[in-house]
Each structure stands twice: as C-alpha cells, then as structure tokens.
Amino acid sequence: MIAANLPALQVVLPLLGAVLCAFLRRGVYAWGVALIVSLAMPLIAIGLLIQVLDSGTISYAMGGWKPPIGIEYRVDVFNAFLLLLVSVIAAVIMPYAKRSVEKEIPSDRQAWFYAIYLLCLCGLLGMAITGDAFNIFVFMEVSSLAAYTLIALGRDRRALLAAYQYLIMGTIGATFYVIGVGLLYSMTGTLNLADIASRLAGIENSRAVLAALAFLTVGISLKLALFPLHVWLPNAYAYAPSMATVFLAATATKVAVYLLLRYFYTVFGASIIFQDLPVSNIFLILSLAAMFGASIVAVFQDDVKRMLAYSSVGQIGYITLGIAIANLTGLTGGIVHLFNHALMKAALFMAIGAVFYRIGSVKLDDLAGIGKRMPITMAAFVIAGFSIIGVPGTVGFVSKWYLVLGAFEQGWWWLAFLIVASSLISVVYIGRIVEVVWFRPVSAAAKRAEEPPLSMLLPTLLLVAATVYFGIDTSATAGIAGRAAEWLMVGVK
C-alpha cells in the first residue's frame, strides 16, 4: 500500500506538513513537523530509486485517473536521483535550521517560515516527479512563490528588493514556460509529457513547436539562472536567511536544470535540439560566459554570500556546459555536477551561515582571522572550497574530469583548456577567503566568535564529508548520473 503510493507521498507529505505548520503557530513545533517531514523525504526517495533501479520506470496515476487524461507521476532513473538529492538536502539542513532560524527570523514568523519552506520543498519535488507539463507549471509556481517569501524574510531590508527582483524575473520565466506549454498543447492536444513526445513526431519542425521550444528554453533558463538570465540570483542568495540560501542554492536551480534536460531529451528529442538547431552552440557560449564572467565577478565581492552566489552562477555554467557538449561523457559530467555542486555549495553556505550565526556578518573584512576562533567550521569551508576548485579527491574533480574528457572526445581540445582555466578563477576567490580567514589578524567582529552549536556544525561536516566521500567512491553519483545520461541519450546517434 505505502510502497505503491510512494510517488504521491513524496509530494503530499510536505504539503500536509505545511498546513500543519501554519496551524501550529509556535516556531519549535513547526520545526518539529518540518523535521519529521524532511527526514521522511529521503526514505521515500530511496524507496522510489530502488523500485526504479529494480523494475524500471514507475508510472503513477494521481487520484486513479489514468494518463493521459489524468495527471501522471512518472519516476525514472533520472528524476529518482534528483528526488533523492532534493530530499537529502532537505533532511540534512533541518537540524541545522533550528538555531539558524531562531537567530534570523522573528519568533512570531518562525512557524510561517517552516510552512513556506515545506511548500517550497513540495513544489520542487512536485516539479521533479510529475509527468504532466501543466502540473509542472503549478508546482513551479508553488515553489517559486514560496521561494520569494523565504527570501523576503531575510533580516536585511535589501532582502525585500531581492525578493521583488526575483519575483519579476521568476514570473517572466513562469509565463514563458506556460506559453510554451500552451503552444505545445495547441499542437498536440495533450499535456502529458510522454504523450506530447509521441505526438510531436513529424511536426517537430513546425513553427509553433519551435516557438514552444524557444519559450520553454528561455523560461526554464531564467529559473536555472543561465547567464545572462541570472541577475536575480546573487541578491536573492545574498540577502535571504542563511537556511533559505542553503536550501535554494542546493535545490532550486538543480530542479530547473532537470526540467531543461527533460524537455530537451525526452520531449523534443535530442536530434532536433542538437542536430537541427544551434542549441548546443548557444549553450556553449552562454556556459562559457557564466564560467568566466560570473566567476570573475565573484572575485571582486566583499560579501561572502554574494561571492558564493556568483560562484553558483559560474558553476551552473559547468552543468549547462555538460548539456552543450552533448555526448555521453559530457552529459554525465553535467548531471553529476548537478549533484556535486548541490553538495559543495550547500556545505559552503552552511559554514558561512554558521559564521553569520556567531558574528552577525558575512563581510569579508569581519571574517578576518575567524579561522582561529572557528577552526572546525572554517576547515570545513576550506575543504568544500577545494571541491569548487576541483582538487582531486573531492567531488568537484569528478565533474571536471567528465567534462574535460567529454570535450576531448568531441575533439574540442580548446574547450578542455577553457574548462580548466576557468576553474583557476575559483582558486582566486576561494583563496581570497582562505587567506583572510586564516592568515589575517583577528578582526573586532570575529574576536568573540566560537564554534557554532553542534546542531549546525554536524550537518555542515556531514556534507563536507560527502564531498570527499563521493569524490573517491563515485559509484553512486557518477554511476547513476552515467545511467541517467545513457537513458537520456537513447536513440541519439
């Protein structure tokens, strides 16, 4: 019974949890609900992944209405992996959230905060699991509206502006998305993704379908912060409450990347995307612009959260680069980086969130010498930073290996050099933080700092350990990413 309904539970539980949180009104109770729900998520996701690996794609008819009329939840090896990622991140940050939220959110709003967080989680998981184009839009709006609110709850007044900026950009993105879906519906008469895919055969080159593709691509690219559609991201990440930054940075953009791959490979088909249209070239150029442009901007930031946010834009460039390389190795690299980047960026934002918890600032100057006061937190930061740089033995290296190898296989040796050259920029911005944190005299702000409470430290260390563990034993990450890439590339010559 439960096993058969796992796909529904994955989405319904957070939704119910959100309602419950809204009723509870006391921050700590709401946290308890959110914790239980978040801890249940990975269990469900693991259950789904095992089912998929054992017996192939799961199709679940929501409410018993058979697809294509009813809404279909469709779990395959690719989105099962994504569900697991989002769930695990959610589970890891909830113990962390308690102290951080107590510090950063006024006590009368904490229950709302958790309610909204669960809605956001519900939306992200929903987008990942559903097989229905319009249902994706609904969940996209659920998660986006929740995300705007989460960001707006930040202490800094600039958080409001950041949330508003994201609201405008995000709404444009969602509108573009729904226009694309509308065009597809007008051409195929269905909203079920698998159904659309089969009915598109023969009419892929019609103007309406191409227009749909364009709208979908731009809309989703806004959500995933593809350069130059990333302008909402740095402010949103910089001014959101620490816990929201960790969660959004690790999950929101990743789900958007998933949607893009889903439409490219399983709906429109790789042949039209990569052979008939110059999508590969466009993504190649934009990815490179992100890898270099955003990373260079990151070097000059004095606010560490903003620096990491720009770094995220750059790192998303690696993921989309994997899409642009468009061979099996490159795509594996892109997908594995989706997971790897979630791990390392969550760890980095958590470490910085712990610093904010102690000293109430993330300005680089205030962080001077804090390594002497918070050695464990900062050591964790450095190791996660190594992963951003791509030091062997960390997950970042695994991604880079696949991407460079993919570039070589494609015969694009120049791209291989650009990939490694761009990671040199991350040496500069991570190195800048390391130098300030460890080798400067202790600043006035950092003087009284000490290690954060264990509830914040342990989840951070857990993620850092994961960045090293999965950098050495890649059978789970790269293995499944490889299977997902193979599954997506089926039928691509």
Q: Rule CB under 8 A: say whether 276 interacts with other proteins.
A: no
* Paired residues of 489 in beta bridges: none
Taken in order 388, 392, 394, 400, the sign of the CA dihedral is: positive
Per-residue mark of binding to other proteins, 336-375 (x: CB under 8 A)? ----------------------------------------
Stretch of 58-66, 204-212, 255-263, 434-442 contacting other proteins, by CB under 8 A: 434-442
The b-or-e profile of 219-242 (16+ CB within 10 A means b, else e) is: bbbbbbbbbebbebbbbbbbbbbb
Q: Rule CB under 8 A: say whether 165 interacts with other proteins.
A: no
Q: Rule CB under 8 A: say whether 303 interacts with other proteins.
A: no
Q: Give the footprint of other proteins on residues 89-128 (CB under 8 A).
A: none
Shortest gap between Cβ of 427 and other proteins (angstroms)?
Answer: 5
Shortest gap between Cβ of 303 and other proteins (angstroms)?
Answer: 21
Task: Annotate the chain with three-state secondary structure.
Answer: CCCCCHHHHHHHHHHHHHHHHHHHCCHHHHHHHHHHHHHHHHHHHHHHHHHHHHHCCEEEEHHHCCCCCCCEEEECHHHHHHHHHHHHHHHHHHHHHHHHHHHHCCHHHHHHHHHHHHHHHHHHHHHHHECEHHHHHHHHHHHHHHHHHHHHCCCCCHHHHHHHHHHHHHHHHHHHHHHHHHHHHHHHCCCEHHHHHHHHCCCCCCHHHHHHHHHHHHHHHHHHCCCCCCCHHHHHHHHCCHHHHHHHHHHHHHHHHHHHHHHHHHHHHHHHHHHHCCHHHHHHHHHHHHHHHHHHHHHCCCEHHHHHHHHHHHHHHHHHHHHHHCCHHHHHHHHHHHHHHHHHHHHHHHHHHHHHHHHCCCECHHHCCHHHHCHHHHHHHHHHHHHHHCCCCCHHHHHHHHHHHHHHHCCCHHHHHHHHHHHHHHHHHHHHHHHHHHHCCCCCCCCCCCCCCHHHHHHHHHHHHHHHHHHHCCCCHHHHHHHHHHHHHCCCC
Nearer to other proteins, 109 or 447 (CB): 447
Q: Report the residue from 185, 401, 469, 487 that binds other proteins according to the rule CB under 8 A.
A: 401
Nearer to other proteins, 248 or 481 (CB): 481
Q: Rule CB under 8 A: say whether 390 interacts with other proteins.
A: yes
Shortest gap between Cβ of 317 and other proteins (angstroms)?
Answer: 17
Shortest gap between Cβ of 438 and other proteins (angstroms)?
Answer: 7
The residue type at 419: I
Q: Report the residue from 391, 465, 468, 492 that binds other proteins according to the rule CB under 8 A.
A: 391
Stretch of 20-28, 191-199, 279-287, 421-429 contacting other proteins, by CB under 8 A: 421-429
- Peptide bond connecting 228 to the previous residue in cis, omega within 30 degrees of 0: yes
Q: Rule CB under 8 A: say whether 63 interacts with other proteins.
A: no
Taking Cα atoms as reference points, which of 175, 285, 309, 173 lies closest to residue 227?
Answer: 285
Stretch of 169-177, 344-352, 354-362, 422-430 contacting other proteins, by CB under 8 A: 422-430
Nearer to other proteins, 443 or 474 (CB): 474
Nearer to other proteins, 199 or 440 (CB): 440
Q: Report the residue from 102, 204, 303, 409 that binds other proteins according to the rule CB under 8 A.
A: 409
Q: Report the residue from 134, 164, 408, 469 that binds other proteins according to the rule CB under 8 A.
A: 408
Taking Cα atoms as reference points, which of 427, 158, 170 lies closest to residue 303?
Answer: 158
Per-residue mark of binding to other proteins, 464-493 (x: CB under 8 A)? -------xxxx---x---------------
Q: Report the residue from 8, 231, 376, 420 that binds other proteins according to the rule CB under 8 A.
A: 420
Q: Report the residue from 285, 424, 454, 476 that binds other proteins according to the rule CB under 8 A.
A: 424
Q: Rule CB under 8 A: say whether 435 interacts with other proteins.
A: yes
Q: Report the residue from 386, 457, 466, 484 that binds other proteins according to the rule CB under 8 A.
A: 386
Nearer to other proteins, 94 or 484 (CB): 484
Q: Report the residue from 405, 458, 462, 465 that binds other proteins according to the rule CB under 8 A.
A: 405
Q: Report the residue from 29, 134, 292, 438 that binds other proteins according to the rule CB under 8 A.
A: 438
Nearer to other proteins, 38 or 329 (CB): 329
Nearer to other proteins, 174 or 418 (CB): 418
Q: Rule CB under 8 A: say whether 404 interacts with other proteins.
A: yes
Contact positions vs other proteins (CB under 8 A): 386, 389-393, 398, 400-402, 404-405, 408-409, 413, 416-417, 420-421, 423-424, 427-428, 431, 435, 438-441, 471-474, 478
